[in-house]
Amino acid sequence: MADVIVYDKAKYHYEGDFPNGLAIKYAFVHTGMFLGWIVDHDLFSEEFEEDSMNEIEKFKQRALTGTQIYEMWDGVLSEDMLSDEGMEFANVYFDFEKGMFLHDYEVTFPGKESLYFVEDTWENYFKMKEVIDQRYHEWRLVKVAKDQM
């Protein structure tokens, strides 16, 4: 069996190049926002849905943030949490080396000392959601065009 792709772990951040004195909770925010977007678009796996049904509902009611769900999953975002389409999009967009997510995150929240200084608020989530929505729309257009070839 092949290894499961892990897109991100909060501990990669708080055990790495993380600002001194900043609460560890900030290591969860950027990926938590992406996970929230995944939940908003129902791009999660059946397994994730079964394990997080209540959390998904609370997120959609805006009673729980994507970051809070990410924390409940021990700060791990892996391919087995995503649907096939969610994985395909994450492989292109969320890849920290080749994808646009980190760039988009930094552009969406300018003037921050680092990506870790973004607050986990609904206002910030909706700013990022708008950007990811546009990237997803662009990705879908390319995917449909390729599928028609």
Tell me the pLDDT tens digit for each residue of 28-49.
999 999 999 999 999 999 999 9
pLDDT digits (tens, 9 = 90+) for 33-91: 999 999 999 999 999 999 999 999 999 999 999 999 999 999 999 999 999 999 999 99
* 13 within some domain: yes
Tokens of 28: 């969860």
The DSSP result for 66-115, as a single string, is HHHHHHHTTTEEEGGGB-HHHHHHHHHHT-TTTSSHHHHHHHHSTT-SSG
* 15 within some domain: yes
* 87 within some domain: yes
* 1 within some domain: no
**Is pLDDT at 137 greater than 60 in this prediction?**
yes
* 125 within some domain: yes
More confident residue, 141 or 146: 141
Looking at the structure of the chain, the number of domains it has is 1
Which pLDDT score is estimated for 1? 52
Calculate the average pLDDT of the chain.
95
Domain assignment of residue 12, given as a range: 6-148
